[in-house]
Amino acid sequence: MNMTVYSTDGKELRNIELDDSVFGVAPNESIIWYAINNELANNRLGTASTKDRGEVHGSNTKPYKQKGTGRARRGDKKSPILVGGGTIFGPKPRSFSYSIPKKVKRAAIKNILSLKAKNNTLKIVEDFSVNSGKTKDIIKILANITNNKRTVILLKDNDQMTKRAGGNIPWLSFLSYNRLRAHDLFYSRNLIVLETAARQLNTFYGDKDPTAKVEQ
- 3-class secondary-structure state, position 5: strand
pLDDT, tens digit (0-9, with 9 covering 90-100), for 148-202: 889 999 998 888 999 999 989 999 999 998 899 999 999 999 999 999 999 999 9
Class of domain 2-28+100-205 as given by CATH: alpha beta
Q: Could you tell me which of 54, 205, 23 has the C-alpha nearest to residue 124?
A: 23
pLDDT, tens digit (0-9, with 9 covering 90-100), for 4-38: 888 888 888 888 999 888 998 888 999 999 999 99
What per-residue confidence (pLDDT) applies to 59? 87
pLDDT band at 144 (very low <50, low <70, confident <90, very high): confident
Asked if residue 212 has pLDDT above 60, the reply is no
pLDDT, tens digit (0-9, with 9 covering 90-100), for 57-96: 988 888 888 899 998 888 888 989 888 899 999 999 999 9
- 3-class secondary-structure state, position 53: coil
- 3-class secondary-structure state, position 31: helix
Asked if residue 101 has pLDDT above 50, the reply is yes
pTM here?
A: 0.80
Q: What is the DSSP string of 61-92?
A: S-SS-SSSS-S-----TT-TTSTT-PPTT---
Domain boundaries, the chain: 2-28+100-205, 45-95
Pairing of strands 12-17, 2-6: antiparallel
**What is the rounded CA–CA span in Å between residue 172 and residue 87?**
43
**What is the rounded CA–CA span in Å between residue 37 and residue 84?**
36
What per-residue confidence (pLDDT) applies to 158? 86
What per-residue confidence (pLDDT) applies to 210? 44
